[in-house]
Structure 1
Amino acid sequence: MVDETSLDDHLAGLAAEGRRFAVPLAAEQIRVRGDRRRRRKRAARMSGGVLLAAAVAVGGLSLARPGPESAPTAVKPTPSRSAPQFVPPTPSPGDEYASELGYVYNAMVVEDAVQVTVEQLRTERGTAVPTGVVHQVTLSPQTPVEVEQVAGGKAGDVPLGELVDRLRDGPRWVFAVDYDGEGRIQSLREASWLTVSERQQKP
């Protein structure tokens, strides 16, 4: 009986001793893990701040340094290289001609021919709108031109050579330019059915 009591006391003493050492050990591990977490967070914040500062610095330098493609200021505009190029219209199957609508102006006599500028147009609700395509053509003075307003309201056909003075300035007069299957201009027809905005006309 005495031995059992002594054994119980001894075991109880061992358990108490174990708890006394175990509690501080567990608390120390918790403190160490907490310190590690705080150091990791601090390191992450510091590295993130450094990366952000570097990104801002690089971005600021890239913004401050003008790129090679930045548009110059106060420079006279030049024609765009990507402007659409003129392609002669092609007649549809069964049609003799295909027509291009455009202002015809800058007429001048060049040796035995007449040179004119054609500014291509499209129609929107019966109104002429420029497409951005401008080209020059050289025609025979005998090219037939169907006119009305250009001839003072009198409808008829006249050779192009007789209209050089009327078509010298522009843009003003709108014509349908008729092309054959070879891309050659066969005639011009005044597009008197179109409404031309006054701001697009040059007296």
Structure 2
Amino acid sequence: MHPPEERVSRTLDPRSLRGLAHPLRIRLLRALRHHGPATASQLAERLDESSGATSYHLRQLAAHGFVEDDPTRGKGRERWWKAAQQGTTVDESLHLNADPEVRGAMEVYLHEIATIHTQELNTWLGTRHDWDGDWAASTDMSDFTLRLPPERLRELRDEIHSLIDSYQKGADPDAPDAARVRMHLHAFPQHED
């Protein structure tokens, strides 16, 4: 039995946000987090990119502390990369940052994450018939409308994160029917008109 994976998260600040806010960098980091260590060439093939582009952007991610060498792999000049953390959180102050460069980086980051979430959900919808019926019956695609002030929404978000963390810590990855499960949480205000 494997111990539950430690879920170390990186909190973005203005500098690290600018270092991550590029569509290919976000996809590279996601691939390393989801699929484990890889070389630039392997990532290029997985993401349908050139190995020159993946090499360059991996070095940029490393300069900002998102990825690092994996010394347990490779031989000779073969360079393996791994994610330095398994999650990313956004410091709340970034949403209010007045610097146009930070605001632009935040836009790129948020839109890329939204695109990834949409792609993952569409992949599930397109492949759900390939899964055992218990999986289809256990999934969720719900939405709710609440009337909350910002502090209550923050409280709800934090409680949901805490609940998810408890399931992460109690996970049994060796259970015979265990599979990777992705959860997306989107909570945002809407105008009522």
Tell me the TM-score normalized by structure 2: 0.19
Relative to its length, the structure with more strand (as a share) is 1
Greater radius of gyration (CA): 1
Q: Which has the higher contact order (CA 8 A, sep 6+)?
A: 2
TM-score, length-scaled by structure 1: 0.19
Bigger share in helix? 2
